[in-house]
């Protein structure tokens, strides 16, 4: 029977137990013993769930982030943190969040940078390096978890990040060459091997996910050298890669001196046979055949057809696993009692994925017959998905076939449109606006909850929201903003809200996935053709516009962002699904326009994060992503002004694609990077209106007017003042009115000063 194992289990807990324990601990409502007890309880429960596996992961559990754990394991804690008083746990959370919990004087310190883990929505804390960074082994936490697992009767396989990926994912703050640190780092890895040897484990999983990215010769060589220098002793090493194809790193990965290789047989299926050919005969091959990134039930019969010949060839050298850590999927489908039963039967969360793995292994061992019943159930569920009327909508398909290229293009170019729009809006130079949401007060969240629980009826809820909208507009008017918004108080989340109003989407109740630290997201499930049965935002937008003579922006989430922040069907290309989303958004745009909303913002916060891991694939993604945005936005009259918003400052490398979207105005996050973004304009002249963010909404700090003036003057050196807007970096929903009001007031004041300076 092929050995089955797991690369990592979701740590947050089926009921988000870890989140609540962490937040209680940070608020000093529980002590560190209570936090550690919750953590140990979760580990124990999760190992129990994984008990049918031959090897269970240890070290995948983390109180905040596994890369941060690695920095502590390697003794790589920046001096600004290590020099402060307090124990290790305090230092840990200082580096994670910029402040120690339970610290009476609560000294704040710069937190480590958060960045996306490859192309997932999980964020890790970026390791920091300097030329003279020194490492030292600090293995007690990992060792005690190994002992914990072994005493509970599990066959523990510790999981660590490999030395090359650890270096690659970090940042050399002084610009030094990170690879210079490798020899020293390897010494610590070798000490780690020694320590693990004594713990009695047989296998160690070393993750080197950077093997699926483009590596230059220097890094490829470093791999070979490093792995030859590792003194593994009796410990067997499984080298794990995931998220993509190895491509030109394939040979390298096969030949590194380790005892086994794990590859992602979902995303790199086409490489499996090559790897089988190249992998030396003494090595184990672990195939990640169950999708660790998505929530669809696997086709076990098809997998058996695929695996049976491989198993014949590899015999006990074949291992099976999910494609990557299950960190990226929710814990247990059995909690989902509100899903339609057919949709429910099409899904598998972490617990179900492990059961699929067990079923696969048993069927490979004993043949399919004894498992007939389970295999039949699996086949039936998949058949019901294929046959379901819910997943195909002939009207949507026909509408997509009827698309014409001119539907995605505005009638005239930006300059001509801008003149028409200006004669209508008569906006001042440096117009001021916001990104959409305003503080989501306790009251707003409470009303939404009561409404969801049916303790507030439709009428009462509507009146509540109308009051909120009026309040939000009054505030904006008295602050003196030029283009207003309704405030988005009806939305819990910019993707979930739209998913609730679109056909083809389902929502889970407990489908939480960790985004960073204690933050989780609950991506909606896009299972079928997307259609918009009726207008979604028009009533609110119309209501808001009726309260004021200033223009109020209609607010929508764009197709690419809806796609990138959902669990998306896997039975057709993502680009196709995105076009359906685009069509639905387009209908909403046109309805808003018909209702007299003359400025419409279509947020594409997540456009950049959909970029493939390899640059060679970028242009393909950008082509369809941009064309989907254009389809959603560009059907309007010249007099309607389209805005879009993006939340990232690394803009340079995709500037042309962003320009090709042809929005009249783009607002973008920039304030933290001091307008560094604008350097991109030296190479490429962005042709349309742009609002570089001047208020860092992630910080409680209130920007001064002269600071904003200085930032905007910097911007005006690169972009003609006539095309500049003044706005915050992003939505204000996580801030309090006490912060937002003075910040926006300073912003309006700054705009006044700028107008005086530029006319």
Nearer to ligand GLN, 188 or 647 (CB): 647
Nearer to ligand GLN, 351 or 605 (CB): 605
What would the x/- binding string for ligand GLN be over residues 278 to 317, using CB under 6 A?
Answer: ----------------------------------------
Beta bridge partners of residue 599, listed in sequence order? 553, 641
Say which residues have a Cβ less than 8 Å from residue 653's Cβ, sequence separation at least 6: none
Cα–Cα distance measured from residue 297 to residue 320, given in angstroms and rounded to the nearest whole number:
16
Nearest-approach distance from CB 728 to ligand GLN, in angstroms: 9
Cα–Cα distance measured from residue 609 to residue 114, given in angstroms and rounded to the nearest whole number:
14
Q: What Cα–Cα distance (Å) separates residue 451 from each residue in 137, 446, 455, 508?
A: 53, 9, 6, 18
343 neighbors 384 (Cβ within 8 angstroms) = no
Nearer to Zn ion, 472 or 730 (CB): 730
Nearer to ligand GLN, 165 or 564 (CB): 564
Work out the number of other CB atoms within 10 angstroms of the CB of residue 749.
18
Nearer to ligand GLN, 306 or 543 (CB): 543
What would the x/- binding string for ligand GLN be over residues 471 to 490, using CB under 6 A?
Answer: -----------------x--
Sheet holding 567-568, edge to edge: 503-506, 525-531, 567-568
SS3 70: helix
Residues numbered 490 to 509 that lie near ligand GLN (CB under 6 A) are 494
- 520 makes contact, choosing from Zn ion, ligand GLN, none, with CB < 5 to 8 Å by partner type, with none
Kindly state whether residue 439 participates in binding ligand GLN, applying the rule CB under 6 A: no
Residue 442 backbone phi and psi in degrees, to 5 = -55, -40
Nearer to ligand GLN, 66 or 475 (CB): 475
Nearer to Zn ion, 22 or 605 (CB): 605
Nearest-approach distance from CB 600 to ligand GLN, in angstroms: 12
Nearest-approach distance from CB 611 to ligand GLN, in angstroms: 17
Nearest-approach distance from CB 145 to Zn ion, in angstroms: 37
CA dihedral 619, 621, 622, 626 (to 10 degrees): 150
Kindly state whether residue 730 participates in binding Zn ion, applying the rule CB under 5 A: yes
Nearest-approach distance from CB 433 to ligand GLN, in angstroms: 11
- 733 makes contact, choosing from Zn ion, ligand GLN, none, with CB < 5 to 8 Å by partner type, with ligand GLN
Nearest-approach distance from CB 515 to Zn ion, in angstroms: 15
Cα–Cα distance measured from residue 230 to residue 252, given in angstroms and rounded to the nearest whole number:
16
Nearer to ligand GLN, 160 or 605 (CB): 605
Which helix H or strand E contains 229, and what residues bound it? helix 217-229
The pairing of strands 665-668 and 284-290 is unpaired
- 555 makes contact, choosing from Zn ion, ligand GLN, none, with CB < 5 to 8 Å by partner type, with ligand GLN
The catalytic residue among 471, 698, 704, 707 is 698
- 262 makes contact, choosing from ligand GLN, Zn ion, none, with CB < 5 to 8 Å by partner type, with none
Kindly state whether residue 436 participates in binding ligand GLN, applying the rule CB under 6 A: yes
Nearer to ligand GLN, 359 or 740 (CB): 740
Site for Zn ion (CB under 5 A): how many residues? 3
Say which residues have a Cβ less than 8 Å from residue 387's Cβ, sequence separation at least 6: none
Site for ligand GLN (CB under 6 A): how many residues? 13
SS3 274: helix
Kindly state whether residue 206 participates in binding Zn ion, applying the rule CB under 5 A: no
Say which residues have a Cβ less than 8 Å from residue 602's Cβ, sequence separation at least 6: 556, 557, 558, 585, 589, 629, 632, 633, 642, 643, 644, 663
Q: Angle at the Cα of 565 (from 347 to 432), degrees rounded to 5?
A: 160
728 neighbors 691 (Cβ within 8 angstroms) = no
Kindly state whether residue 544 participates in binding ligand GLN, applying the rule CB under 6 A: no
Structure token digits, residue 513: 């996935």
Nearest-approach distance from CB 647 to Zn ion, in angstroms: 3
What would the x/- binding string for Zn ion be over residues 578 to 617, using CB under 5 A?
Answer: ---------------------------x------------
* Selected binder of ligand GLN within 125, 304, 321, 647 (CB under 6 A): 647
Nearest-approach distance from CB 654 to ligand GLN, in angstroms: 17
Which helix H or strand E contains 666, and what residues bound it? strand 665-668
Nearer to Zn ion, 56 or 484 (CB): 484
* Selected binder of Zn ion within 179, 647, 666, 668 (CB under 5 A): 647
Cα–Cα distance measured from residue 694 to residue 495, given in angstroms and rounded to the nearest whole number:
25
Q: Angle at the Cα of 66 (from 65 to 67), degrees rounded to 5?
A: 95
Site of tokens 């339970």: 102
- 494 makes contact, choosing from Zn ion, ligand GLN, none, with CB < 5 to 8 Å by partner type, with ligand GLN
Confirm whether 698 is a catalytic residue. Answer: yes
Distance of CA 195 to the CA centre of its chain: 35
Kindly state whether residue 645 participates in binding ligand GLN, applying the rule CB under 6 A: yes
Nearer to Zn ion, 50 or 557 (CB): 557
Kindly state whether residue 605 participates in binding ligand GLN, applying the rule CB under 6 A: yes
Task: Tell me the window of 139-147, 168-176, 291-299, 429-437 that interacts with ligand GLN (CB under 6 A).
Answer: 429-437
Residues numbered 164 to 223 that lie near ligand GLN (CB under 6 A) are none
Kindly state whether residue 555 participates in binding ligand GLN, applying the rule CB under 6 A: yes
Kindly state whether residue 602 participates in binding ligand GLN, applying the rule CB under 6 A: no
Task: Tell me the window of 101-109, 434-442, 616-624, 704-712 that interacts with ligand GLN (CB under 6 A).
Answer: 434-442
Nearer to Zn ion, 483 or 647 (CB): 647
Nearest-approach distance from CB 604 to ligand GLN, in angstroms: 8
Nearest-approach distance from CB 566 to ligand GLN, in angstroms: 15
The residue count for the chain:
759
Nearest-approach distance from CB 555 to ligand GLN, in angstroms: 6
Task: Tell me the window of 52-60, 107-115, 486-494, 723-731 that interacts with Zn ion (CB under 5 A).
Answer: 723-731
Say which residues have a Cβ less than 8 Å from residue 697's Cβ, sequence separation at least 6: 728, 729, 730, 731, 732, 734, 735
539 neighbors 461 (Cβ within 8 angstroms) = no
What is the 8-class DSSP label of residue 691? E
Nearest-approach distance from CB 698 to Zn ion, in angstroms: 10
The pairing of strands 525-531 and 503-506 is antiparallel
Say which residues have a Cβ less than 8 Å from residue 297's Cβ, sequence separation at least 6: 345, 346, 347, 348, 352, 356, 378, 381, 382, 385
Q: Is 285 left (phi over 0), alpha (psi -120 to 50) or beta?
A: beta
690 neighbors 681 (Cβ within 8 angstroms) = no
Residues numbered 717 to 736 that lie near ligand GLN (CB under 6 A) are 730-731, 733
By the criterion CB under 5 A, which residues form the site for Zn ion?
A: 605, 647, 730
The contact set with ligand GLN (CB under 6 A) reads 435-437, 488, 494, 555, 603, 605, 645, 647, 730-731, 733
Residues acting as catalytic residues: 698
């Amino acid at each position: 029977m092929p050995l089955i194992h797991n690369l990592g289990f979701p740590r947050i807990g089926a009921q988000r137990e870890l989140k609540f324990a962490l937040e209680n601990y940070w608020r000093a409502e529980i002590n560190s013993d209570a936090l550690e007890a919750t953590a140990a309880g979760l580990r124990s429960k999760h190992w129990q769930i994984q008990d049918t596996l031959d090897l269970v992961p240890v070290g995948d559990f983390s109180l905040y982030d596994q890369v941060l754990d690695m920095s502590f394991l390697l003794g790589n804690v920046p001096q600004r943190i290590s020099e402060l008083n307090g124990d290790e746990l305090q230092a840990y959370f200082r580096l994670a969040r910029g402040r120690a919990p339970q610290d009476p004087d609560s000294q704040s310190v710069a937190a480590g940078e958060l960045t996306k883990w490859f192309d997932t929505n999980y964020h890790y804390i970026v390791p920091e390096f300097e030329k003279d960074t020194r490492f030292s082994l600090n293995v007690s936490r990992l060792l005690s978890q190994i002992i914990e697992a072994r005493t509970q009767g599990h066959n523990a396989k510790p999981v660590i990040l490999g030395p090359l990926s650890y270096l690659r994912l970090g940042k050399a703050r002084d610009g030094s060459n990170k690879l210079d640190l490798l020899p020293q780092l390897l010494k610590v890895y070798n000490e780690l091997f020694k320590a693990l040897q004594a713990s009695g484990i047989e296998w160690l999983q070393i993750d080197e996910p950077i093997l699926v990215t483009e590596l230059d010769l220097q890094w490829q060589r470093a791999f070979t050298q490093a792995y030859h220098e590792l003194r593994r002793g009796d410990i067997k090493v499984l080298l794990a890669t995931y998220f993509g194809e190895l491509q030109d790193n394939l040979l390298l990965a096969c030949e590194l001196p380790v005892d086994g290789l794990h590859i992602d047989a979902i995303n790199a299926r086409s490489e499996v046979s090559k790897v089988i050919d190249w992998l030396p005969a003494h090595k184990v091959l672990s195939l990640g055949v169950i999708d660790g990134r998505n929530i669809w039930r696997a086709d076990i019969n098809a997998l058996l057809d695929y695996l049976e010949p491989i198993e014949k060839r590899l015999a006990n050298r074949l291992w099976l696993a999910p494609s990557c850590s299950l960190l990226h999927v929710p814990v247990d489908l059995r909690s989902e009692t509100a899903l339609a039963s057919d949709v429910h039967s099409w899904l598998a969360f972490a617990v179900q994925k492990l059961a699929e793995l067990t079923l696969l292994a048993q069927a490979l061992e004993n043949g399919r017959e004894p498992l007939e019943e389970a295999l039949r159930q699996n086949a039936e569920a998949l058949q019901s998905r294929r046959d379901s009327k819910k997943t195909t909508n002939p009207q949507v398909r026909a509408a997509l076939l009827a698309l014409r290229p001119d539907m995605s293009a505005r009638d005239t170019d930006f300059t001509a449109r801008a003149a028409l729009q200006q004669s209508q809006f008569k906006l001042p130079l440096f117009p001021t606006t916001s990104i959409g949401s305003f503080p989501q007060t306790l009251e707003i969240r409470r009303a939404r909850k009561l409404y969801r629980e049916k303790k507030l009826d439709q009428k009462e809820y509507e009146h509540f929201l109308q009051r909120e909208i009026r309040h939000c507009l009054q505030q904006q008017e008295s602050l003196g903003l030029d283009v207003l918004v309704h405030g988005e108080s009806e939305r819990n989340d910019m993707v979930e809200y739209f998913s609730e109003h679109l056909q083809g989407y389902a929502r889970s109740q407990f489908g939480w996935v960790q985004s960073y630290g204690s933050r989780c997201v609950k991506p909606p499930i896009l299972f079928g053709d997307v259609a918009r049965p009726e207008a979604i935002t028009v009533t609110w937008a119309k209501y808001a516009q009726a309260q004021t003579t200033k223009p109020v922006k209609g607010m929508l989430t764009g197709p690419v962002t809806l796609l990138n922040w959902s669990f998306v069907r896997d039975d057709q290309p993502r680009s196709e699904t995105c076009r359906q989303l685009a069509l639905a958004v387009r209908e909403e745009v046109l309805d808003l326009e018909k209702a007299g909303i003359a400025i419409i913002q279509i947020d594409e916060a997540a456009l950049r994060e959909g970029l493939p891991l390899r640059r060679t694939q970028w242009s393909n993604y950008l082509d369809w992503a941009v064309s989907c945005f254009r389809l959603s936005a560009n059907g309007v009259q010249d007099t309607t002004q389209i805005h879009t918003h993006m939340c990232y400052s690394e803009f340079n490398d995709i500037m042309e694609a962003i320009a090709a979207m042809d929005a009249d105005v783009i607002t973008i996050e920039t304030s933290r990077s001091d307008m560094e973004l604008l350097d991109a304009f030296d190479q490429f002249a962005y042709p349309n209106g742009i609002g570089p963010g001047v208020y860092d909404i992630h910080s409680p700090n209130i920007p001064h007017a002269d600071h904003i003036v200085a930032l905007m003057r910097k911007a005006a050196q690169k972009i003609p003042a006539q095309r500049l807007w003044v706005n915050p970096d992003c939505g204000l929903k996580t801030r309090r009115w006490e912060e937002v009001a003075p910040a926006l007031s300073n912003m309006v004041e700054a705009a006044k000063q700028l107008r005086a300076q530029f006319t």
